[in-house]
Amino acid sequence: MDIIDVYEKVTEKSNLARCQIRITSKTIDDHQTLLEELNRFNAAEGWLCYQSKVVKLSEGTLPDDREDNVLFGELAKENRSLHIRQRKAGWLISEIVSSPARESTVEREQCIAKIVSYSLDQNEFADYEVFWEKEKRDANNDHGFNGEYFPKSYRFVGFRSGKESS
Tell me what the mean pLDDT of segment 90-114 comes to. Answer: 77
Residue 5: Cβ within 10 Å count: 11
Residue 22's alpha-carbon distances to 56, 80, 88, 95, 165, in angstroms, are 26, 10, 25, 8, 26
pLDDT of 154 > 80? The answer is: yes
The verdict on residue 158 lying in a domain is: no
Residue 107 has pLDDT above 60, yes or no: no
Residue 140 belongs to a domain: yes
Residue 159 has pLDDT above 80, yes or no: yes
Q: Give the least confident one: 11-20, 32-41, 101-110.
A: 101-110
Counted domains in the chain? 2
User: What pLDDT is attached to residue 15?
Assistant: 64
Say yes or no: 89 and 105 in one domain.
no
The answer to the question of residue 166 being in a domain is: no
Q: Any alpha helices (H) in 90-140, and if so which ranges?
A: none
pLDDT tens per residue across span 111-152: 777 778 888 877 889 999 888 877 766 656 555 555 677 778
Q: Is the domain of 122 the same as that of 133?
A: yes
pLDDT at 17: 76
Rounded to whole angstroms, how far apart are CA atoms 119 and 148?
29
**What's the pLDDT at 111?**
74
Question: Are 23 and 62 within 8 A, CB to CB?
Answer: no
Give residue-wise pLDDT tens across range 21-62. 899 999 999 999 999 999 999 999 999 999 888 988 887 777
Q: What's the domain range around 126?
A: 3-21+101-152
pLDDT score, position 138: 61
pLDDT value for 70? 92
* Residue 100 reports pLDDT greater than 70: yes
Task: Note whether 88 and 39 are same-domain residues.
Answer: yes
The answer as to whether 164 is a domain residue is no
Residues 79 and 16 in one domain: no
